[in-house]
Amino acid sequence: MTTPISERLDDLDEARDSGRRKMDWAIQHMPICGALREQFEADQPFDGERIGMAMHVEAKTAVLTEILAAGGAEVAITGCNPLSTHDDVSAALDAVDGVTSYAERGVDDEEYYAAIEAVIDHEPTITVDDGMDLVAAIHEDYPELIDTIIGGAEETTTGVHRLRAMDEDGELDYPVFAVNDTPMKRLFDNVHGTGESSLASIAMTTNLSWAGKTVVVSGYGDCGKGVAKKASGQNADVIVTEVEPRRALEAHMEGYEVKPMAEAAAEGDVFITTTGNRDVIVEEHFETMQDGVLLANAGHFDVEVDLDALSDLAVDTYAARDGVQTYEMADGRRLNVLAEGRLVNLATPIALGHPVEVMDQSFGVQAVCVRELVENGDDYEAGVHAVPDRLDKEVAEIKLDAEGVDFDSLTDTQAEYMDSWQHGT
């Protein structure tokens, strides 16, 4: 069992000031969470609930955590990736009334899981996950808690994928909202968020440019689409690798080259994996890559690039820059791995995670899903649930209102027309 971060930091006051300053900046650019905070403070919907969270603990997540606490919940939080925690934010969060934070950067595996158990020890009635670590740990090791859990919400593609597999096996014992699958989440977080922040993180970690580069994007799901689109928008030449024929065709029709990795490996200058799968770039690919290539991962887990095989191939390895590990091959070629193959937009030294506004949208959906569990939890059986349309629309409307974007509404005649089918050509 671990202790809250505040008991472990040396310069606690300084850390809290620094973390609070980051949170203040975030909330300035999170109008959806700002509007929901006002609503939650007034209504206290979470009064009496205990919320367990395992997410990337940095400024934006902290804002979500804080507004849940502001709505009356007791919140316990830890990280969902050992390298993505900002200790100062974790400390500032731990100082918030109603919040306990166990997250600490750079912990080892044992400490990582101890922190998850510390959160579970709060006996949460609601879980909020980014990668389903809480759901998995509760089902495996603390099944006795499930009876008192109203439900959960899951942030990522990978988490939802794993939850569905669990659900299909009949092993998911409480309802979980697939926040990842809403338009609000997928389009903005995955496409714009992952796309922009991955590229900016790579550029600022390496001081390299995109113009004229051949960028190999593995996976053409929402994250891959975002990375490909934004890289192309910086004048890179994009090659896509895929395993699903319709996605491969979609990428081809978008104007990208589609190739097997076995061919793309020799052509790429930068490789960005977004598949959520393992062994996307492996030994046979390393062997044909050019000198100086960059290898980065934008998928949830660090299994897409086979670093073990790369280590075995290398005759030397060293840190070329902060966040860049160079593997030198016997023939002199240097292959540069960013952020140890972990999420490149979260795990490089200067990385800040997804952009603030994008997370505002995701977390807006998270927040209304938690509210929905409290208000209507009985309506949902155990299993994975799509976020109800009305919640998703509510968040979109809050955002448009905050951005000052006005749009049309259907007239009665139009609404009627859309519902009818008797009219002719």
Q: Which is nearer to a second copy, 187 or 313 (CB)?
A: 187
Q: How far is the CB of 236 from a second copy (least distance, A)?
A: 6
Q: Which is nearer to a second copy, 303 or 377 (CB)?
A: 303
Ligand-binding annotation for 180, yes or no, is no
Structure tokens at 100: 């306990």
Asked whether 295 and 281 are in contact (CB, 8 A), the reply is yes
Q: Which is nearer to a second copy, 44 or 249 (CB)?
A: 249
Burial 392-421 (b: 16+ CB within 10 A, else e): bebbbebbeeeeeeeeeeeeeeeeeeeeee
- From residue 93, alpha-carbon distances to 19, 23, 26, 86, 383 in Å are 8, 9, 13, 11, 31
Ligand-binding annotation for 389, yes or no, is no
Strand partners of residue 327? 317, 335
| 170: Cβ contacts below 8 Å, ≥ 6 apart | none
Burial of 59 (0-12, 13-18, 19+ CB in 10 A): buried
Q: How far is the CB of 366 from a second copy (least distance, A)?
A: 16
Ligand-binding annotation for 207, yes or no, is no
Ligand-binding annotation for 61, yes or no, is no
Ligand-binding annotation for 81, yes or no, is no
Q: How far is the CB of 409 from a second copy (least distance, A)?
A: 6
Q: How far is the CB of 46 from a second copy (least distance, A)?
A: 25
- From residue 415, alpha-carbon distances to 241, 393, 412 in Å are 43, 17, 5
Ligand-binding annotation for 385, yes or no, is no
Q: Which is nearer to a second copy, 97 or 422 (CB)?
A: 422
Asked whether 133 and 115 are in contact (CB, 8 A), the reply is no
Ligand-binding annotation for 223, yes or no, is yes
Asked whether 64 and 129 are in contact (CB, 8 A), the reply is no
Q: How far is the CB of 340 from a second copy (least distance, A)?
A: 13
Burial of 48 (0-12, 13-18, 19+ CB in 10 A): exposed
Q: Which is nearer to a second copy, 50 or 86 (CB)?
A: 86
Q: How far is the CB of 48 from a second copy (least distance, A)?
A: 31
What angle separates helix 31-43 from helix 389-403, to the nearest 10 degrees?
A: 120
| 204: Cβ contacts below 8 Å, ≥ 6 apart | 350
Q: Which is nearer to a second copy, 37 or 60 (CB)?
A: 60
Q: Which is nearer to a second copy, 301 or 380 (CB)?
A: 301
Ligand-binding annotation for 110, yes or no, is no
Q: How far is the CB of 173 from a second copy (least distance, A)?
A: 13
Ligand-binding annotation for 214, yes or no, is no
Backbone torsion region of residue 107, taken as left when φ is above 0, otherwise alpha when ψ lies between -120 and 50, otherwise beta: beta
Residue set of the binding site for NAD(+)? 156-158, 190, 219-226, 242, 277, 298-300, 345, 354
Residue set of the binding site for substrate? 130, 155, 185, 189
Residue set of the binding site? 130, 155-158, 185, 189-190, 219-226, 242, 277, 298-300, 345, 354
